[in-house]
Amino acid sequence: MRIAYPDLCFDEVLDLKKAINSGWLTKGPYVEEFENMAKDYIGVKYAIAVNSGTAALHLALISLNISDGDEVIVPDFTFVATANAVEYTRAKPVFADIDLKTFNIDTEDIKRKITNRTKAIMPVHGLGQSADMDEIRKIARERNLFIIEDAACAMGAKYKGEFCGTMGDLGCFSFHPRKIITTAEGGMIITNNEKHAKAIERLRDHGSIKKDGRVYFYNCGYNYRLSELHSILGIAQMKKLKSIIARRQEAAKKLNTLLSGIDFLRIPETRKDCEHIFQSYVVLLDSGSDRDKFMTYLKSKNIETVGGNHALHSQPFYKNKYGYKPGEVPNSFEAGERSAALPLYPQMTDEEINFLAQTVRGAL
Ligand SMILES: Cc1ncc(COP(=O)(O)O)c(C=O)c1O
Q: Amino acid letter at 154?
A: A
* Same domain (yes/no): 134, 267: no
* Same domain (yes/no): 150, 287: no
Report the domain count for the chain: 2
Distance from C-alpha of 326 to C-alpha of 118, rounded to nearest angstrom? 23
pTM for this structure?
Answer: 0.98
Distance from C-alpha of 11 to C-alpha of 23, rounded to nearest angstrom? 21
Is the distance from CB of 231 to CB of 30 less than 8 angstroms?
Answer: yes
* Same domain (yes/no): 252, 215: no
Counting from 1 in the atom list of ligand 1, the atom nearest the Cα of 55 is 11
Look at residues 235, 252, 279 and tell me which one is the last residue of a structural domain: 235
Tell me, in angstroms, the distance from the centre of ligand 1 to residue 168's CA.
Answer: 18
Closest by CA position to 70, among listed 120, 136, 138, 110: 120
Look at residues 214, 235, 256 and tell me which one is the last residue of a structural domain: 235
Is the distance from CB of 121 to CB of 72 less than 8 angstroms?
Answer: yes
Is the distance from CB of 27 to CB of 49 less than 8 angstroms?
Answer: no
Assigned domain for 358 exists: yes
* Same domain (yes/no): 44, 192: yes
81 lines ligand 1 (CB under 6 A): yes
CATH of the domain at 146: 3.40.640.10
* Same domain (yes/no): 320, 357: yes
Counting from 1 in the atom list of ligand 1, the atom nearest the Cα of 309 is 16
The DSSP bridge pattern shows strands 162-163 and 158-159 to be antiparallel
* Same domain (yes/no): 279, 190: no
Give alpha helix (H) positions in 205-343: 228-259, 291-300, 316-322, 330-338
* Mutation choice for ligand 1 from 149, 176, 178, 312, CB with most ligand atoms inside 8 A: 176
Assigned domain for 1 exists: no
152 lines ligand 1 (CB under 6 A): yes
Q: What is the DSSP letter of 363?
A: T
> Of all protein residues, whose CA lies closest to atom 8 belonging to ligand 1?
53
Q: Which residues of the chain have pLDDT under 70?
A: none
Counting from 1 in the atom list of ligand 1, the atom nearest the Cα of 185 is 10
Assigned domain for 316 exists: yes
Residues 6+ apart with CB under 8 A from 75: 82, 95, 96, 97, 98, 104, 105, 123, 124, 126, 131, 332
Tell me, in angstroms, the distance from the centre of ligand 1 to residue 172's CA.
Answer: 9
Tell me, in angstroms, the distance from the centre of ligand 1 to residue 186's CA.
Answer: 10
Assigned domain for 269 exists: yes
Distance from C-alpha of 251 to C-alpha of 343, rounded to nearest angstrom? 10
**Residue 247 domain boundaries:** 241-362
* Same domain (yes/no): 73, 192: yes
Tell me, in angstroms, the distance from the centre of ligand 1 to residue 362's CA.
Answer: 33
The DSSP bridge pattern shows strands 71-75 and 118-121 to be parallel
What's the residue count for the chain? 364
237 lines ligand 1 (CB under 6 A): no
Assigned domain for 181 exists: yes
Tell me, in angstroms, the distance from the centre of ligand 1 to residue 22's CA.
Answer: 32
153 lines ligand 1 (CB under 6 A): yes
* Mutation choice for ligand 1 from 76, 88, 150, 174, CB with most ligand atoms inside 8 A: 174
Closest by CA position to 352, among listed 255, 218, 244: 255
> Of all protein residues, whose CA lies closest to atom 10 belonging to ligand 1?
53
> In Å, how far are 155, 233, 263 from 240, measured between CA atoms?
12, 11, 37
* Same domain (yes/no): 356, 273: yes
* Same domain (yes/no): 215, 330: no
pLDDT score, position 364:
78
For CA atoms 107, 110, 112, 115, the dihedral sign is negative
124 lines ligand 1 (CB under 6 A): yes
Assigned domain for 2 exists: no
Distance from C-alpha of 29 to C-alpha of 340, rounded to nearest angstrom? 41
pLDDT tens-digit series, residues 43-65: 999 999 999 999 999 999 999 99
Burial class (CB in 10 A: 0-12, 13-18, 19+), 144: exposed
Burial class (CB in 10 A: 0-12, 13-18, 19+), 65: exposed
Distance from C-alpha of 41 to C-alpha of 239, rounded to nearest angstrom? 10
Is the distance from CB of 64 to CB of 119 less than 8 angstroms?
Answer: yes
* Same domain (yes/no): 222, 257: no
> Rg of the chain over CA atoms, in angstroms?
20
Distance from C-alpha of 37 to C-alpha of 232, rounded to nearest angstrom? 12
Tell me, in angstroms, the distance from the centre of ligand 1 to residue 261's CA.
Answer: 32
Q: Amino acid letter at 197?
A: A
Assigned domain for 115 exists: yes
Is the distance from CB of 61 to CB of 86 less than 8 angstroms?
Answer: yes
* Mutation choice for ligand 1 from 87, 88, 95, 153, CB with most ligand atoms inside 8 A: 153
Q: What is the DSSP letter of 12?
A: G
CATH of the domain at 273: 3.90.1150.10
First and final C-alpha spacing in the chain: 20
176 lines ligand 1 (CB under 6 A): yes
Counting from 1 in the atom list of ligand 1, the atom nearest the Cα of 126 is 1
* Same domain (yes/no): 112, 170: yes
Counting from 1 in the atom list of ligand 1, the atom nearest the Cα of 57 is 4
Assigned domain for 3 exists: no
* Same domain (yes/no): 228, 292: no
Look at residues 218, 235, 252 and tell me which one is the last residue of a structural domain: 235
